[in-house]
């Protein structure tokens, strides 16, 4: 047994989250793609069967009240809230991340008022956020200005209405300074909108603590909600009575069953609702969140950093120098929960790794991404993945 394989076993033996792995449906495949799609929590299939067979099959329409379908968006939002550092009553679940980015950004511009005519957007963002920001700018008559997160403080002015940023870069795994950038945005009199897709469930966010105005996130990555599971929208409590959603629907009406022709918004986070909730996927997500019961996000962060540190250490040992370049910052304060490696023939290398049951993913043109979900990834998985990477690259 190699030194690193022995160390991996020692680290697993001392892992306080090790028992959580048994709460997922897993095999001996090394699954390092939870930053794209989380593994299936073992409680979900039985819960979904009950939703389909009993709640839908037997109770039918009665389930909107008797099974709690109607209140699911805000109820599940309250379960997500502690994972992103928010108090109850500020998150509503529903729609896709893209739709929620649109609601949040247009809502932020409307909160900022008419005197501010510019939107800043993360130039390195996931493409959809950029597309949505461009459309929001056209819709609201604002100018869109793409900048890197590092450029935000110098780009802010009294023209800035809102700033849309990613907490963790989806390609490199770089963690941006949410507290510092939010503070800078507020000092300029603008609103901060954060995309938490690659951070929620992997590291502390602190939405309330840092005064974030609005935030969105998906639930199918580190929250393990399943493919296409609904996203969520956070609206800070003191903004809620003025939050003007660009997608007012009957579900966000103060009297949803009044069927009135005039729109009157509901109170609180419910203003973020639009249409009928997607109950099957929403209740699968609710079941998936059971794995977080009793889990501290600080403990998750501690293990995440230990996993990524150990992976980088193993890569340095197993991969000949100069064949891969880490795009992920070495400093903990700048790192999310993934490692991105640049190398030649990255697409082919990932195919060969997957053929050996080491599952990460490839991002064009030359990036290998490995995501580390602390609830179920083991240190022995990390060592095995790095060793296989070295073998494939040198073959």
Residues designated as active site: 126, 195, 220-221, 369
| φ and ψ at residue 343, rounded to 5 degrees | -160, 165
CB neighbour list of residue 125: distance below 8 Å, 6 or more residues apart = 133, 164, 165, 166, 195
DSSP per residue over 237-249, as a string?
A: GGGTTT---SS--
Residue pair 53/262 in contact (Cβ under 8 Å)? The answer is no
CA nearest to 284, candidates 17, 72, 126: 72
Tally the C-alpha atoms within 13 A of residue 72's C-alpha that lie toward its C-beta.
26
State the residue for tokens 């501010």.
116
DSSP structural state of residue 332 = G
Residue pair 240/265 in contact (Cβ under 8 Å)? The answer is no
Residue pair 101/130 in contact (Cβ under 8 Å)? The answer is no
d(CA 40, CA 18): 16
DSSP per residue over 56-112, as a string?
A: IIIIGGGHHHHT--TTHHHHHHHHHGGGGT--TTSEEE-S-HHHHHHHHHHHHHHHH
d(CA 213, CA 233): 11
CA nearest to 274, candidates 256, 257, 250, 293: 250
What is the rounded end-to-end Cα distance, in angstroms, of the chain?
A: 21
CA distances from 94 to 103, 167, 243, 272 (A): 12, 21, 17, 9
């Amino acid at each position: 047994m190699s030194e690193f394989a022995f160390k991996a076993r020692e680290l697993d033996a001392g892992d306080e989250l090790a028992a959580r792995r048994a709460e997922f449906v897993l095999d001996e495949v090394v699954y390092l793609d939870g930053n794209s799609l989380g593994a299936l929590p073992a409680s979900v299939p039985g819960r979904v069967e009950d939703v389909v067979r009993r709640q839908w099959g037997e109770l039918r329409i009665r389930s909107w009240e008797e099974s709690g379908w109607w209140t699911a968006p805000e109820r599940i939002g309250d379960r997500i809230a502690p994972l992103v550092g928010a108090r109850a009553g500020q998150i509503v679940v529903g729609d896709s991340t893209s739709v929620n980015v649109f609601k949040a950004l247009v809502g932020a511009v409307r909160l900022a008022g008419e005197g501010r005519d510019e939107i800043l957007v993360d130039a390195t963002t996931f493409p959809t956020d950029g597309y949505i920001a461009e459309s929001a700018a056209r819709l609201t008559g604002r100018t869109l200005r793409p900048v890197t997160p590092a450029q935000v403080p110098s780009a802010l002015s009294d023209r800035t209405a809102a700033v849309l940023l990613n907490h963790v870069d989806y390609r490199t795994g770089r963690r941006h300074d949410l507290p510092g950038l939010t503070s800078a945005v507020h000092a300029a009199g603008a609103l901060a909108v954060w995309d938490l897709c690659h951070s929620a469930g992997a590291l502390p966010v602190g939405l309330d603590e840092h005064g974030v105005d609005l935030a969105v996130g998906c639930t199918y990555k580190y929250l393990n909600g399943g493919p296409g599971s609904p996203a969520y929208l956070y609206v800070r409590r003191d903004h809620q009575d003025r939050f003007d959603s660009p997608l007012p629907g009957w579900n966000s009406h103060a009297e949803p069953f009044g069927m009135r022709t005039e729109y009157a918004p509901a109170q609180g986070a419910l203003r973020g609702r639009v249409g009928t909730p997607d109950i099957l996927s929403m209740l699968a997500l609710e079941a998936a969140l059971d794995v977080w019961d009793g889990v501290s996000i600080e403990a998750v962060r501690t293990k995440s950093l230990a996993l990524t540190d150990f992976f980088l250490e193993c890569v340095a040992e197993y991969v000949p120098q100069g064949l891969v370049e880490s795009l992920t910052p070495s400093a903990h304060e700048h790192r999310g929960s993934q490692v991105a490696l640049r190398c030649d023939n990255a697409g082919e290398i990932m195919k060969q790794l997957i053929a050996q049951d080491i599952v990460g993913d490839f991002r064009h043109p030359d990036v290998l991404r490995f995501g580390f979900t602390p609830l179920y990834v083991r240190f022995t998985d990390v060592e095995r993945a790095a060793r296989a990477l070295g073998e494939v690259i040198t073959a």
